[in-house]
Amino acid sequence: MEDRAEKMETLLRDILVELGENPDREGLVRSPKRIAAALAFLTSGYNVDVDKLVNGACFTQETTSMVILRDIEFYSLCEHHMLPFFGRCHIGYLPSGHIFGVSKLARLVDVFARRLQLQERLTEQISRAIMDAIQPVGVGVMIEAQHLCMMMRGVEKQHAVMTTSSLLGSFRENPATRQEFLALINRPQP
Ligand SMILES: [Zn+2]
């Protein structure tokens, strides 16, 4: 582990040199260490055992009405540029015998967000994990995000918000369920 951190610091120092910077000046001297630590945190989702998280998150409960958790903020890194994309994730499901602990739902978002990601894949990984964990009648996940790789560089569009959704089970098959989900996540803030 120590080895890996040291190797990262050396590589990051080399990057600073290649960028034309002086890695020994006061402001930068500890930056390779800080960047390595930041990258380790931002990709810490790889080290989380999803099965273990999910196992501790499921509770038996005989309710059948839709559960919604919306506006879960998240920060991720796009795998193409390693620049942040961030926004909000909305989750809904129709339970059938089991519910997913609400804080664990938010934690699940972080576990998949703290990796090198694509927004599309992030959305699907969350919905699939919920489906596998509690086998609900249906799941819907919607993510709205802004991508710094598009805002700071490339097409330089500052206000574009990308929306992705993954609908499984009744959320895909039943238009009324889908409508209920969309209406609940689109309601104005309380
Ligand atoms: Zn990108």
Segment 79-138, tens digit of pLDDT: 999 999 999 999 999 999 999 999 999 999 999 999 999 999 999 999 999 999 999 999
Q: What's the gap in Å between 179 CA and the centre of ligand 1?
A: 31
Q: How confident is the model at residue 157 (pLDDT cuts 50, 70, 90)?
A: confident
Q: What's the gap in Å between 149 CA and the centre of ligand 1?
A: 5
**Least trusted range by pLDDT, from 102-116, 145-159, 171-185:** 145-159
The per-residue DSSP string of 76-117 comes to EEETTT--EEEEEEEEEEE-SSEEE-HHHHHHHHHHHHSSEE
**What confidence score (pLDDT) does residue 96 get?**
93
CA distances (Å), origin 89, targets 31, 108, 184 = 32, 11, 13
Active site residues: 78-81, 119, 147, 149
Q: What's the gap in Å between 113 CA and the centre of ligand 1?
A: 14
Percent of residues, the chain, with pLDDT higher than 70? 98
Mind listing the pLDDT tens digit for each residue in 56-82?
888 898 888 999 999 999 999 999 999
Mean pLDDT for all residues in the chain: 94
